[in-house]
Amino acid sequence: MSTKQPTGKVLLKIVLALFALGAVAVIAGGVYVYRNPLALHVRNTRGALDVSGFERVEVDVTSGKLVVWRGAPSSGEPGPDIVFLHGAGDQAGAWAKTTPKLRDRYRVHLLDLPGHGESEPLDGPLAYSVVLAGVEDYLDGLERPTLVGHSMGAWLATVYAHRHPDNVTRLLAVNGGALHAGDTGVNLLPRDREEARRTMAALRDPSSPEIPGFVLDDVVRRSAAGPIGRLTAELEDMERHLLDGRLGEIRTPVDLIWGESDRHLDLDYARRLERELPAARLTTIERCGHLPPNECPGPFREALEQVLALDPPAPNEPRGDAEMPGDQNDPR
């Protein structure tokens, strides 16, 4: 049975058609990136967790389905548990650049906080107490984990340590805590591009690359409808979980890791925490703002690993800021 070979004209038409399809795909992809840069960032960071060997699991807790990414030592030896709690409006992929190596020594748990990422509840007002209850349910199933929390995650970890002192080995709080910060002048629900630009400038070091306008536009679109907007609908519930005047009751040793350039929760806030906690130690990262895992992953990873290698801070030991130099070769 013979088969006709396509003529030169037919081949040209096929090539042009394929080129046109490819061009359409590229244009469509470009439009998607332009309109949804934050969604693409989330997808990339979660993909990085998958590539790094973390396993996505779903757990039923009080708040509904909780999505957790888990990783354990490849040797099969069970290591101690270390749990990472991201900040408001973020998701587990925030830790993608800083946690893979920890799987050599720990059973690593990266949570999508309730109401964040793929964890329920996925819509409606989001009460802090609901987020806390879901985290508590998960942590209660572990044996004395180390907790690492960023921003609101640090607040959640601090409240958990206050409530369950016998079930936490140590706490690492990254640019966050359980004290009222007052009016920082930073609007986390910007209404337009310029407000978003001012907000991101306050959260990041001046030397960090400028954020493109189309990304700032996506920040505006997503902030009000996302977890931050949902949380602010329940502000009274959030305020009930602050620990002003009660940090002295916390028995868990606390390491504070702080980006020095943070103008939302600045170094004065970090030093308040250090003074009021019975056992605390402050480590700072220069040329880094409120978002160390994202803005300066290299220096943050170095600080995290060095702090974990130290014994936890002892009560009433002499305190002094430990400074982590910026990593000149790290992509900012």
**CATH of residue 140:** 3.40.50.1820
88-125 per-residue burial string, b: 16 or more CB within 10 A, e: under 16: bbbbbbbbbbbbbebbeebbbbbbbbbbbbebbbeeee
pLDDT tens, residue by residue, 69-112 = 999 887 777 789 999 999 999 999 999 999 999 999 999 999 99
In the chain, the DSSP E strands lie at 55-61, 64-71, 81-85, 107-111, 146-150, 170-174, 254-259, 280-285, 322-324
Specify the pLDDT at position 197.
97
Position 203 in a domain:
yes
Specify the pLDDT at position 12.
54
Position 117 in a domain:
yes
Position 302 in a domain:
yes
Comparing 26-40, 65-79, 98-112, 245-259, the range with the smallest average pLDDT is 26-40
DSSP class of residue 324 equals E
Confidence of residue 25 (pLDDT cuts 50, 70, 90): very low
pLDDT tens, residue by residue, 161-171 = 999 999 999 99
Confidence of residue 33 (pLDDT cuts 50, 70, 90): low
Edge-to-edge strands, sheet with 81-85: 55-61, 64-71, 107-111, 81-85, 146-150, 170-174, 254-259, 280-285, 322-324
Question: CB atoms < 10 A from the CB of 3, how many?
Answer: 4
Position 19 in a domain:
no
d(CA 45, CA 153): 18
pLDDT beyond 60 at 230: yes
Backbone angle region of 311, left / alpha / beta, with phi > 0 → left and psi within -120 to 50 → alpha: beta
Cis peptide before 100 (omega within 30 of 0): no
Write out the DSSP string of 128-151: HHHHHHHHHHHHHTSSS-EEEEET
Specify the pLDDT at position 77.
76
Position 2 in a domain:
no
Position 79 in a domain:
yes
Average pLDDT over residues 321-328: 47
pLDDT beyond 70 at 208: yes
Q: What is the mean pLDDT of the chain?
A: 88
Closest CA to 139 of 156, 122, 115: 156
Closest CA to 115 of 238, 233, 232, 230: 230
Q: Which residues contact 199 (CB under 8 A, 6 or more apart)?
A: 186, 187, 188, 190, 219
In 218-302, the DSSP E strands lie at 254-259, 280-285
pLDDT beyond 80 at 215: yes
d(CA 239, CA 235): 6
pLDDT beyond 50 at 325: no
pLDDT tens, residue by residue, 137-146 = 999 999 999 9
d(CA 46, CA 238): 28
Helical (H) or strand (E) element with 23: helix 8-35
Specify the pLDDT at position 32.
46
Specify the pLDDT at position 107.
96
Number of domain units in the chain? 1
Position 8 in a domain:
no
Q: Which domain holds residue 239?
A: 33-324
Confidence of residue 194 (pLDDT cuts 50, 70, 90): very high
Amino acid symbol at 249: E
Confidence of residue 199 (pLDDT cuts 50, 70, 90): very high
Position 21 in a domain:
no
Specify the pLDDT at position 105.
93
Question: CB atoms < 10 A from the CB of 11, how many?
Answer: 11
Structure tokens at 176: 């966050």
Specify the pLDDT at position 137.
98
